[in-house]
């Protein structure tokens, strides 16, 4: 995870990071580093068993703050570390959380500082995220599963476990999430839930129109903007489906992904999913034309110097078709278009918005953004033009999702 991508994400946030005994504690060191890179203040609290796997000195170096290990720590003036630590927290994350620690929480026991501060936390103000880490048999044991259900019912957010090789040599469920995944889960948990109840459809990336089995027509779109929008919409509480052209990007956590190649495949998938969506964000750079026919075999040079003549036909206009659908016309589907231009940005964006019949058109200069991690956007609607200054695509996606949420909630009201 690039430090530039997360800079400022958690500025002003105070996170309590709890470590219990487990080999996965080494991932917590990287997680702590990501939190501080994102601008958070991190207070580490460790159990005695955690200190067998990771030293407090290491965690102090990474967090920049003294580590708390004992409920009898005399540093607080009031001798109430469990109260002070939980009251200052914007979130408490226990990673790794052992089977024993989860059992303590389920039973309401508090014989160590970390369990004590979890029990003493203001439930309505300080969310508790639990990242389990244990052997596959321990994770599958009925007692562990019963305890997990209990702490979830008591208000904890129990994160998923991963499957894979385990330190004991076995393979299966029970691995703690990686540091980057933990970071994304925390960001999503803290994000304002402005799109709860919405089903958002996002298209992203280029399409590929085959000429023959080995050649085709495509463009420079990386899909980064669309993937960032899908992630931001999911963090805002939406149910998100991402229709992706041929790109090499990881699927954002919590997002359903449908992979396609050609414009016709993207058209079919988008039309089908739009029947149940409430917001459609057409970020993909869809090819306007495709070869009229695809050669069965590779077209080869024959030495004659003659150049093959290609005929083209127009691809379906996905955005225009969905924007003019009965659901969109009735106000049940809010459509957002994207325009990648090379000149006259505002004029071309206004013209495209009118031509497509969408309430909001987002424009950018394509050659200045394809493949890059930053962008600048121009939002065009009935009210005029809003400029989103150059920033990371991650930040722009969050700003755009906030703009869309405001328009959707306003329309619903």
Q: What is the mean pLDDT of residues 136-157?
A: 96
331 φψ region: left (φ > 0), alpha (ψ -120 to 50), beta (else): left
CA distance 372 to 222: 8
Mean pLDDT is lowest, of 271-275, 362-366, 388-392, for 362-366
Structure pTM? 0.87
Rounded to whole angstroms, what are the CA distances from 116 to 81, 83, 84? 9, 9, 11
pLDDT digits (tens, 9 = 90+) for 79-95: 677 777 888 899 999 99
Give the pairing type, strands 312-314 and 289-291.
antiparallel
Annotated active-site residue in 32, 69, 118, 168: 168
Q: What is the pLDDT of residue 146?
A: 98
pLDDT digits (tens, 9 = 90+) for 349-372: 888 898 999 999 998 866 666 768
Which 8-state DSSP code applies to residue 254? T
Do 142 and 277 belong together in one domain?
Answer: no
Counting the structural domains of the chain, the total is 2
Q: What is the mean pLDDT of residues 121-150?
A: 95
Domain span at 81: 3-190
Q: What is the pLDDT of residue 368?
A: 62
Hey, which of 195-199, 343-347, 369-373 has the most confident mean pLDDT?
A: 195-199
Do 231 and 367 belong together in one domain?
Answer: yes
pLDDT over 70, % of the chain = 95
Q: What is the mean pLDDT of residues 118-136?
A: 94
Residue 130 tokens read as: 């639990």
CA distance 161 to 46: 21
Residue 304 tokens read as: 């004659």
pLDDT digits (tens, 9 = 90+) for 18-48: 999 999 999 999 999 999 999 999 999 999 9
Inform me whether the pLDDT recorded for 160 exceeds 60.
Answer: yes
Give the pairing type, strands 374-381 and 312-314.
unpaired
Do 165 and 118 belong together in one domain?
Answer: yes
Q: What is the pLDDT of residue 343?
A: 77
Q: What is the pLDDT of residue 25?
A: 95
Q: Cα-flanking dihedrals φ and ψ of residue 30, to 5°?
A: -65, -40
CATH number, domain containing residue 238: 3.40.50.10300
Q: What is the mean pLDDT of residues 249-272?
A: 96
CATH number, domain containing residue 39: 3.40.50.1950
Inform me whether the pLDDT recorded for 277 exceeds 90.
Answer: yes
Rounded to whole angstroms, what are the CA distances from 45 to 15, 86, 335? 11, 11, 47
Identify which of 106, 160, 157 has the alpha carbon closest to the alpha carbon of residue 132: 160
Which 8-state DSSP code applies to residue 371? T
pLDDT digits (tens, 9 = 90+) for 55-67: 999 999 999 999 9
Q: What is the mean pLDDT of residues 329-357?
A: 88
CA distance 365 to 358: 20
Do 155 and 212 belong together in one domain?
Answer: no
Which residues make Cβ contacts (< 8 Å) with residue 55, sequence separation at least 6? Answer: none
pLDDT band for position 315 (50/70/90)? very high
Do 186 and 204 belong together in one domain?
Answer: no
Do 16 and 165 belong together in one domain?
Answer: yes
Query: What are the DSSP calls for 72-135, one per residue?
Result: T---STTS-HHHHHHHH-SEEEEEEE-HHHHHHHHHT---SHHHHHHHHS-TTTS-EEEEE---
Inform me whether the pLDDT recorded for 127 exceeds 60.
Answer: yes
Inform me whether the pLDDT recorded for 3 exceeds 60.
Answer: no
CA distance 319 to 337: 7
Do 91 and 153 belong together in one domain?
Answer: yes
Q: What is the pLDDT of residue 254?
A: 92
> Is 177 part of any domain?
yes
Residue 70 tokens read as: 């004992």
Do 129 and 247 belong together in one domain?
Answer: no
Q: Catalogue the E-assigned strands of 133-278.
A: 157-158, 162-165, 171-175, 199-204, 209-210, 216-217, 239-244, 256-259
Do 119 and 266 belong together in one domain?
Answer: no
Instruction: Please report which residue ranges of 169-219 form alpha helices under DSSP H.
Output: 179-190
Contact call for residues 93 and 183 (beta carbons, < 8 A):
no
Is 32 designated active site? no
Q: What is the pLDDT of residue 312?
A: 93
Angle at 94 between CA 88 and CA 100, to 5 degrees: 130
CA distance 328 to 336: 11
Do 249 and 125 belong together in one domain?
Answer: no
> Is 369 part of any domain?
yes
Do 102 and 235 belong together in one domain?
Answer: no
pLDDT band for position 2 (50/70/90)? low
End-to-end Cα separation, the chain, in angstroms? 39
Identify which of 238, 329, 340 has the alpha carbon closest to the alpha carbon of residue 285: 340
Inform me whether the pLDDT recorded for 6 exceeds 60.
Answer: yes
Residue 392: strand, helix, or coil = strand
Inform me whether the pLDDT recorded for 207 exceeds 80.
Answer: yes
> Is 305 part of any domain?
no
Which residues make Cβ contacts (< 8 Å) with residue 364, sequence separation at least 6? Answer: 338, 339, 340, 341, 345, 375, 376, 377, 378
Which 8-state DSSP code applies to residue 383? T
Q: What is the mean pLDDT of residues 300-317?
A: 88
The mean predicted confidence, pLDDT, of the chain is: 91
Do 130 and 276 belong together in one domain?
Answer: no
More reliable by pLDDT, 165 or 151: 151
Q: What is the pLDDT of residue 413?
A: 42
Q: What is the mean pLDDT of residues 281-295?
A: 93
Which 8-state DSSP code applies to residue 206? B
């Amino acid at each position: 995870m690039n430090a530039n991508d997360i800079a400022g994400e958690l500025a002003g946030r105070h996170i309590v990071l709890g470590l219990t005994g487990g080999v996965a504690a080494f991932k917590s060191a990287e997680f702590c580093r990501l939190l501080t890179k994102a601008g958070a203040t991190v207070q580490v609290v460790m159990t005695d068993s955690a200190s067998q796997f990771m030293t407090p000195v290491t965690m102090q170096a990474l967090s920049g703050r003294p580590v708390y290990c004992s409920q009898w720590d005399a540093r607080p003036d009031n001798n109430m570390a469990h109260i002070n630590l939980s009251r200052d927290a914007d979130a408490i994350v226990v990673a790794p959380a052992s089977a024993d620690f989860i059992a303590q929480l389920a039973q309401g026991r508090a014989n160590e500082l970390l369990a004590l501060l979890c029990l003493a936390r203001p439930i309505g103000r300080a969310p508790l995220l639990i990242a389990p880490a244990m052997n596959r048999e321990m994770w599958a044991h009925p007692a562990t599963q019963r305890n997990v259900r209990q702490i979830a019912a008591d208000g904890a957010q129990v994160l998923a476990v991963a499957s894979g090789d385990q330190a004991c040599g076995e393979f299966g469920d029970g691995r703690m999430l990686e540091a980057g995944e933990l970071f994304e889960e925390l960001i999503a948990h803290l994000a304002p839930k402005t799109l709860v109840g919405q089903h958002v459809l996002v298209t992203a990336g280029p399409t590929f129109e085959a000429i023959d089995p080995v050649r085709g027509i495509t463009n420079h779109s990386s899909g980064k903007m669309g993937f960032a929008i899908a992630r931001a919409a999911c963090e805002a509480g939406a149910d998100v489906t991402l229709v992706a052209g041929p790109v090499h990007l990881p699927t954002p956590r919590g997002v359903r992904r449908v992979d396609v190649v050609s414009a016709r495949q993207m058209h079919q998938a988008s039309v089908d999913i739009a029947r149940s969506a409430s917001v459609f964000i057409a970020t993909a750079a869809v090819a306007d034309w495709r070869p009229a026919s695809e050669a069965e075999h590779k077209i080869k040079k024959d030495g004659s110097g003659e150049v093959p003549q290609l005929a083209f036909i127009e691809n379906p206009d996905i955005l225009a078709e969905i924007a003019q659908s009965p659901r969109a016309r009735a106000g049940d589907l809010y459509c957002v278009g994207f325009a990648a231009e090379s000149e006259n940005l505002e004029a071309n964006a206004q013209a495209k918005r009118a031509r497509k019949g969408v309430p909001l058109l987002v424009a950018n200069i394509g050659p200045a953004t394809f493949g890059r991690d930053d962008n600048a956007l121009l939002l065009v609607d009935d009210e005029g033009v809003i400029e989103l200054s150059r920033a990371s695509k991650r930040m722009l996606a969050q700003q755009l999702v906030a703009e869309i949420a405001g328009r959707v909630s306003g329309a619903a009201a």
